[in-house]
Amino acid sequence: MKRVMIVDDEVLVRLGIQSLIKWENYGYQIVSDASDGEEALQKIRQYQPDIVLTDLKMSPVDGFELISECREKYPHIQFIVLSSYNDFDNVRSAMKIGAFDYVFKLTVKPEELLKIMDEATAAGKGTDTVQDAPTLADRNLEVIKRGLFKRILNSETFLKKYLEELIKLPLAISFDQPFYILSITIDDFKVVRKKGDFMDLELLIFTMDNILSELFNRHHRAEVFQYGEYDFAVAVNREEDQNNFFAAMDKEFGIFSSCARQYYGLEVSGALSMECTGTEALKDAIAQNKDTLKMRFFSEPGRLHSYDRTVMEPAFLPPGFHSTVLARLASEHDFYGIRKFLEELFEFLKEKKQWEPEEIRYLLRKAYGTLAASFARSRADIDMFLDKNGINMEASINDYTYLEKIRKSVLELVEQYKKEYESNSGRILRKEVAEAKSFVRNHMKEEMQVADIAAMVNMSGSYFSHVFKKEEGISFVEYVYRVRMEHARYLLESSDLKVNEIADEVGIFNPNYFSTQFKKSVGQSPLEYRQTRLKKAEENSRM
């Protein structure tokens, strides 16, 4: 695997090249990037790249100085110039001092760049020989540091041992001096990932880490590390002359937030801990920030929040918002009344900032259950309606980060249902069929026998089968099969569950039989279906 570094003062160029293709599939690994020649020289010793893709016009150290110095110290490195159309004279000069070739950085195509890199690899000596111990240690220093941070923050045992190892390493900050932890997380992560508007997660984490390190080390002493699947933390020493530290961090966070929105199409939120001293305070600071970020539920994207200890209160709804009121409105298909009820409910909830967000989600799930049960009698199934992000009502309540986004999604879906109901001339399903459908969706993991369901709705098995097929156009067994396959597709797209676990979730306890039935229904095996969806998501993220 040949190691590659990208050097350009434009973040967009660096991100664009990194996300151009899946480099590992072609024998290359992007090991680092840098914003100018000075930073590149520091990182070259650490990461030992075989190929450097570099801009020429940078400061304080430009591409010419970078190439010249490396010709002496690292003759094995092949340089490929990232050029603009009006840059021919500079490109010629760069090639005279040792650059291998050039590409137009704003219009480069993957196959063109790969061809030049393959030629450069063939012409170079490469660095696949064994490196001495100090060089290996330098190259892996960042990996070691990040690994220790992650163990400290996620482990209940051996904490002291990890702390002792960490403080022996060369760190940008001093934990003996006052420091803060700034945590950053991605909003609506599950929703965005399901949509597919998302680059490869490893690449996303890699580039976000680099941007944060570059941004916060310009004016501060900072260490960046990851402590969750998509959660970052920046440890920053407080400067003595910095009177308003929160304002300074808010400014840096605002720049990163704009960058995440522009380059990734993602919204992020941040939390700043109270002042800390000593490595032992790391876990407490992260815990503070987790509590703070949990309460952003009542806020909006793109904000940095300061720690504020809130005394929580038990959540309960007044009589006017009880499920019986909503059930009556839904049973009468009073859409004006339903919308008014929901708007007033959300207005009431947004003021309850002393309630746990998860308790509010629980209350909203109960409202969803009331609507789903009542609407099950109509021809349309509320779970099949999707909002603008492809999310149904249950998922919107569980997956959106903010209460306001849940509100908009729920009202949008109720409006969709209203239109569907009216387009069907208000046709109502028989109560027995509606109850059977609701039971199937809520008890999917259980074994379903026609006789048992018929008894539940006080019908004989044969009469129930006749009524169900007349109402739905398919048999009850076919309906159960369809629901299970729909849910299996959803889980393959939106979760990391294994195939046998998904089979259990949809009530098919033989994984081989599940795979056979899934392929019969969809035309692909479960793994093929998941890989196709992931590939499509990657392609969409590049468009």
CB 257 within 8 A of CB 232: no
Residues 169, 209: Cα–Cα separation, whole Å: 19
The CA distances from residue 53 to 28, 155, 205, 289, in Å, are 13, 39, 21, 38
What per-residue string of b and e applies to 266-276 under the rule 16 or more CB within 10 Å gives b?
A: bbbbbbbbeeb
356: left (phi over 0), alpha (psi -120 to 50) or beta: beta
- Please, which residues bridge with residue 6 across strands? 33, 53
pLDDT score, position 539: 63
* Residues listed for the chain: 543
Distance of CA 381 to the CA centre of its chain: 29
Q: At what angle do helices 323-331 and 335-349 cross, to 10 degrees?
A: 160
pLDDT score, position 305: 92
Residues 343, 391: Cα–Cα separation, whole Å: 20
Segment 406-428, tens digit of pLDDT: 999 999 998 888 877 777 655 55
Residues 201, 373: Cα–Cα separation, whole Å: 38
pLDDT score, position 436: 86
Classify residue 56 as exposed, middle or buried by CB count within 10 Å of its CB (0-12, 13-18, 19+): buried
> What is this structure's pTM?
0.58
Cα angle for residues 421, 423, 425 (degrees, 5° grid): 75
Q: How many CB atoms are located within 10 Å of the residue 188 CB?
A: 19
CB 378 within 8 A of CB 421: yes
Residues 119, 65: Cα–Cα separation, whole Å: 24
Beta strand pairing call for 101-104 and 78-83: parallel
- Please, which residues bridge with residue 180 across strands? 236
Q: How many CB atoms are located within 10 Å of the residue 324 CB?
A: 9
Question: Which two three-digit tokens encode residue 1?
Answer: 């695997």
pLDDT score, position 132: 40
Question: Which two three-digit tokens encode residue 385?
Answer: 């309606």
Count of H helices and E strands in the chain? 23, 10
Question: Which two three-digit tokens encode residue 428?
Answer: 């109502």
CB 35 within 8 A of CB 82: no
Torsion on CA atoms 35, 40, 46, 52, rounded to nearest 10: 100
pLDDT score, position 241: 56
pLDDT score, position 378: 61
Does 357 sit behind a cis peptide bond, omega within 30 degrees of 0 on the bond before it?
Answer: no
Question: Which two three-digit tokens encode residue 326?
Answer: 């909503």
pLDDT score, position 455: 93
CB 484 within 8 A of CB 477: no
Parts of the chain with a pLDDT under 70: 84-88, 106-107, 124-148, 150-169, 195-203, 240-243, 376-381, 424-429, 537-543
